[in-house]
Amino acid sequence: MKVLGVIPARYASGRMPGKPLADICGKPMIWWVYQAAIKSKDLYDVVVATDDERIYKECEKWHINVVMTRNDHDTPTSRLYEVSTMIDADLYLMLMGDEPLINYESFSLIIPEKLKEYYVAVLTNIIDKPSEVIDFSNQKCVTNAKREVLMISRSPIPYPKGTLDFDYEKVTGIQLFSKKALQFYDETAKSVLEIAEENDLMRFVENGITVKAIQSTYKTVSVDTPKDLELVRTIISEREAYDA
């Protein structure tokens, strides 16, 4: 199977404009994500997908494979669909451009043994800190016994009325789609819960397309705030000093 790694990167961000270009130890954030991804033997190629000339030029400067996409995409999955019309592959692994600590070894967890026409999957992490459960930027998910997503919400779900004997899980920025699934996404109108929760995957769930949730022990730090950025800078700086 040909699996293409795609890193959606937009300049406009409500909380951190220009986030993909944020400096981390002398290199832009997008460079760290790309470098992690190209180490994977599960991907035949990796490309950054952007709609901004500044990101495009920075990628060229750092010799990062990049393509220009339309500027009317309002979700990363929509941008991923456009890439699927430009570059042929069996599966498209989406890596969010704000997770420079992504571990490429986690990619193999999400890739199926056999190709399915409609395949959608997401890696999840168990939430360790109570504060992260109530943080709306962490999108919590619940599944059935087959690890198929039932609901993804920014609210703490499930509600612990009867017991606390369970783990809260959050979806990560590592998601996988077949070409047919991306076509379905593009041809299907936004769903009610997708709009309410601002989560692309709910379009599949609400329309009966199975979304597999695969739990991963490889944890990342999404850069959503300047505080997150400082934490990532510290982690990478310490890692670089240790490897030197």
- Over 70: is that where the pLDDT of 244 sits? no
Higher model confidence: residue 240 or residue 125?
Answer: 125
Residue 225's pLDDT is: 85
Contacts of 164 (CB under 8 A, 6+ apart): none
| Residues 106, 126: Cα–Cα separation, whole Å | 15
What is the pLDDT at residue 243?
74
pLDDT, one tens digit per residue, over 52-72 is 999 999 999 999 999 999 999
Q: How many CB atoms lie within 10 A of CB 194?
A: 21
At residue 114, does pLDDT exceed 70? yes
Nearest CA-CA partner of 119 in 183, 69, 171? 183
Region 124-135 average pLDDT: 92
- Cα–Cα distances in angstroms (integers) from residue 112 to residues 116, 130, 182, 243, in the given order: 8, 32, 17, 33
Token duo for residue 114 = 């056999």
pLDDT digits (tens, 9 = 90+) for 177-188: 999 999 999 999
